[in-house]
Amino acid sequence: MKIIDRLNENKINISFEVFPPKTDEGYDKVASATDEIAKLNPAFISVTYGAGGGTSKNTARIASHIKDDLHVLSLAHLTCASSTKEEVRQVIENLKRLGIENILALRGDIPEGIQFPSNDRFRYASELIGEIRKHGDFCIGAACYPEGHVENEHKEDDIRYLKQKVDSGVDFLTTQMFFDNDIHYNFLYRIREAGITVPVLPGIMPITSASQMKKSVELSGTVFPRRFLSILDRFGSSPAAMKQAGIAYATDQIIDLLANGVKNIHIYSMNKPDVAAAIMSNLSEIIRA
């Protein structure tokens, strides 16, 4: 089944993201966490490609496990900056062979020590999307950035590039993490005005430790509202309290999104089934309402 078909069912869909192990030795631990998250009955589970594309083998392996053994829709990430065009084509063919129908197409971070752009690598996600379209009947997702991509100086350019990406064959979008829902609502208004009509899944990241917040800022450049900073200031030195507060904050974000008509929400679970379960428990009756 394709994810776009699930998103078009006009019901609330909560999905989760997991990331593959950096080494084969860590596979069982990640698989166990994924198994627990699958018990929460998510709409789908996405599997990241890993830093530098080095975990691509395990991305396909976990995505296949989710689909075949856990009977949950799986979404395999695919980045192109870290791989040659031929390597990308091999990954696409492998996903097709495994029966994985859903791909999240990303440019990805540019690894150190390689020449980029170059003729043997796709430069933009839109080029990767076009390549995936050539190789099969995949459902293709892509990323978007409510606060603007860090490499684009002007938000107008960001939306123009996003429109090009969607026009290349994107079925749905998933946002970068954000912590102020007004940013998301404003972003939706601007992209709809630009003619981008595909479903947009807000990406929610439960911040459960001070170190996780620091890493999130470094990776995405996201802005934390004063309300969240007050939580961090008060509870950041207590791991148990910060975990509970972070779960509550993410839950509050999701409730607000649902109350404002958003039906599809993606949670960056960071391979933490206990955090994912706590959020779903908080939403148990809200999802049914």
Note whether 17 and 48 are within 8 A (CB).
Answer: yes
Report which DSSP code applies to 283: T
Q: Give one DSSP letter per residue of 1-35, joined into a string.
A: --HHHHHTTSS-EEEEEE---SSGGGHHHHHHHHH
Q: What is the pLDDT of residues 215-238, one digit of tens each?
A: 776 666 788 899 999 999 999 999
Q: What residues act catalytically?
A: 17
Q: What is the pLDDT of residue 219?
A: 65
54 or 129, higher pLDDT? 129
24: confidence class by pLDDT, cuts 50, 70, 90: confident
Spacing of C-alpha 135 from chain mean position: 23
Among the residue ranges 23-27, 129-133, 278-282, 284-288, the one predicted with the least confidence is 23-27
Could you read off the pLDDT of 94-108 as tens digits, one per residue?
A: 999 999 999 999 998
Q: Which residue has the higher pLDDT, 6 or 213?
A: 6
Calculate helix-pair angle for 155-167, 181-193, nearest 10 degrees. Answer: 60
Residue 149 — pLDDT band, cuts 50, 70, 90?
A: low
Peptide bond preceding 239 in cis form (omega within 30 of 0): no
Which residues face 203 on adjacent strands?
Answer: 177, 266
- Tell which residue, 7, 1, 6, 2, has the closest CA to residue 201: 7
Nearest to 133 by CA among 166, 107, 162: 166
Average pLDDT of the residues in 112-132: 87
Domain boundaries, the chain: 3-288
Please report where in the chains the tokens 């900073």 appear, as a residue.
Answer: 229
- Which residues face 74 on adjacent strands? 45
For 3-288, the fitting CATH number among 3.30.9.100, 3.20.20.140, 3.20.20.220, 3.40.50.620 is 3.20.20.220
- Given the structure tokens 């939403």, which residue do they identify? 283
Q: In this structure, what token pair is assigned to residue 120?
A: 């043997």
Give the contacts of 46 (CB within 8 A, at least 6 positions apart). Answer: 15, 16, 17, 18, 74, 75, 76, 77, 104, 174, 266
For position 108, what pLDDT does the model report? 86
